[in-house]
Structure 1
Amino acid sequence: MITSASNQQMKHVIQLNKKAKTRYEQRVFVVEGIKMCMEAPKEDIQAMYVSETFLNVPEHGQKLKNYSYEVVADNVFKTISDTQTPQGILALVKMPEYTLEDLLGKDGRSSHLLILESIQDPGNLGTMIRTGEGAGVTGILMNKTTVDIFHPKTIRSTMGSLYRVPFYITDSLEETLQELKERDISLYAAHLKGTMSYDKPDYTKPCGFLIGNEGNGLSETIAESADEYIRIPMEGKVESLNAAIAATLLMYEVNRQRR
């Protein structure tokens, strides 16, 4: 049993939780909680740690019978956890790798993409990934200034969808959007200049939605890549919606039309 926070393995977990640079250098991230650990692809789990208290619950021992793990003293587990009330289990998981092709659907004709520019809130990003799975997106494309997809808060917000939704982080969003257009994928920007209601276009064909930064929206260059500006009608004095809520409405409209 690990009884000291100075243990090298514990220091490693803390570094992975705190530093994106360490995560990307090692291509490993930390997941916490029974759901996130059990849903992780078993072949990608590099290490698993459980607290004494966690292991005292008989059903937990049953869940872990086919896993290798290290037991950690409760007080030490609190120091390596990123949550205020740790569930008592975490794992180090190998990062999944995807190409742009992986995002386009099995035949390329079913593409349903969520395209993110500089989203900053990890909870928003995680919610979009989770909702994206529910709405049937084929993938999520994002630029490098979008918050880290492996940030602990993002991971928690995905509730496991991170393992199943393909994503791609592009060096040049502008160039990648041009590539999508060359593949006949229609791009729509939720934009204040939009005159067409979001539920009017035909989304049964390959499409993608551009969602911008929470405070500033889409940059002019990226917005101009859209084939159409669309708007979400709003009552009262509301000028805009939370980015994750706007993305949800758009993705589910595609789902509705394709059903």
Structure 2
Amino acid sequence: MLTNTRSDRVKAVRALSRRSVRSRTGEFLAEGPQAVREAVAFRPAHVRDVYVTPEAAERHAAIVEAARAAELWVHEVSPEVLAAMCDTESPQGIAAVCRVVDVPLEEALAGLPADALVCVLTHVRDPGNAGTVIRGADAAGADAVIVSDASVDIYNSKVVRSTVGSLWHLPVSTGSTVPEILDALRARGITLLAADGAGTTLLHDADLGGPHAWVMGNEAWGLPQEVRDACDDVVRVPIHGHAESLNLAMAATVCLYASAEARRTRR
């Protein structure tokens, strides 16, 4: 069992809380049973090490057994060591060092189905919002999530936790500029739908009949005019009550599920 909180291994894992270290090593830390379970189940080749406390090993025996069956390194550690590795105040007893899973834009868009559904995040800065949108896209059956270069790092621990494992379920691409993303989607015949409160088309009137991508903007200022102009339509979610607006994650989920329902009725 690893018990030394000052060991080089512990320091190396803890250093993954810094973006510069994640970028240099190509690794990040996934914390909690949901994240580790999905990483082991869906992307075992991307899991380098699993760290678990004795209590958590007993509580989450199925995860540990699956990791060992996949021939992954499983290290038993003291609660103090796990706490030193993680940046959450109350770690849930298990974490995994994983290799990054994002793919180039061309790869993410390769082989999209005829009724493709894509979610694009532009200049999204809030980790919780980004992770929740990825989770919503996964739940709605989206085929890919594209995160622009000016957005939050998807390997930020808050993003990873907010995806609740969905980060390992569908193609995610990062690092491309917004114009590059829109051009690549348009070249594949995918309709670009800007989701913005300034839209004149209401969601229930939007044309969701073919392959399309929802383009989501920044939490504070939405989508700039040039991005809205570059899209085929600007769509807004109707507000029936007195709420001023929906936050990014809520609006994205509503739009994605509208697309999922339209897709379901066509199939």
> TM-score by structure 1 length?
0.91
Residue of structure 2 in register with 1:137 after alignment: 142
Q: Report the CA distance shift for 1:130/1:57 in structure 2 as closer, same or farther (over 3 A).
A: closer
Say if 1:232 and 1:177 are closer, same or farther in 2 by CA, change over 3 A: same
Higher helix share: 2
Q: Does the 8 Å CA contact 1:125/1:149 hold for their aligned counterparts?
A: yes
Alpha-carbon deviation of 1:74? 1.9
Q: What residue number does 2:12 align with?
A: 12
Q: What SS is found at the alignment partner of 2:73?
A: coil
In 2, the alpha carbon distance for the partners of 1:107 and 1:235 equals 35
1:172 aligns with 2:177: yes
Q: Give the equivalent residue in structure 2 for 1:254.
A: 259
Specify the code of the residue in structure 2 equivalent to 1:3: T
Runs of 4+ in 1 over 6 A off after TM superposition: none
Question: Which sits farther off after the overlay, 47-56 or 205-214?
Answer: 47-56
1:43 counterpart residue number: 45
Letter in 1 for 2:252: A
Kindly indicate whether the alpha-carbon contact (under 8 Å) linking 2:53 and 2:93 is maintained by their aligned counterparts in 1.
yes
Deviates more, 1:168-177 or 1:115-124: 168-177
Which residue in 1 is equivalent to 2:21?
22
Secondary structure in 2 matching 1:224: helix
1:89 aligned residue (68, 77, 94): 94
Is residue 208 of structure 2 the alignment partner of residue 233 of structure 1?
no
- d(CA) in 2 for partners of 1:117, 1:256: 24
Matched, 1:206 2:206: no
Q: Which amino acid aligns with 2:52?
A: V
Instruction: Call closer, same or farther: CA 1:4–1:136 in 2, change over 3 Å.
Output: same
Deviations, residues 167-204 of structure 1 (Å, cap 9, x unaligned) = 11143211321232232211111223312111212213
Q: 2:55 aligns with which of 47, 53, 56?
A: 53
CA distance in 1, matches of 2:3, 2:245: 50
Moved more, 116-125 or 77-86: 77-86
Contact 2:195–2:234 at 8 Å: present in 1 too? yes
The superposition leaves residues 83-128 of structure 1 with CA deviations (integer Å, 9 ceiling, x where unpaired) of 2222211111111142323433634522211111111111111111
Are residues 164 and 56 of structure 1, via their aligned partners in 2, closer, same or farther at CA, if it must alter by over 3 Å? Answer: closer
Q: Which has the higher mean CA deviation after the structures are superposed, 105-114 or 23-32?
A: 105-114
Higher mean Cα deviation, 51-60 or 74-83? 51-60
How do 1:66-145 and structure 2 match up within 5 A? 66=69, 67-104=72-109, 106-145=111-150
| 8 Å Cα contact 2:68/2:74 also seen in 1 | no
Secondary structure of 1:126's match? helix
Task: Describe the SS at the equivalent of 1:141.
Answer: strand
Distance 2:58 2:118 in 1: 44
Tell me if structure 1 keeps the 8 A contact 2:53–2:76.
yes
SS of the equivalent of 1:48 reads strand
Deviation at 1:57, TM superposition (A): 5.0
Instruction: Say what the alpha-carbon RMSD is for the aligned residues.
Output: 2.0
Q: 1:189 to 1:48 in 2, by over 3 A?
A: same
The share of aligned pairs that are identical, in percent, is: 31
2:204 alignment partner, SS class: coil
The offset of 1:70, in angstroms, is 1.9
Indicate the SS of the match to 1:31. strand
Number of residue equivalences: 258
2: CA distance, partners of 1:48 / 1:182: 41
CA distance in 2, matches of 1:58, 1:256: 35
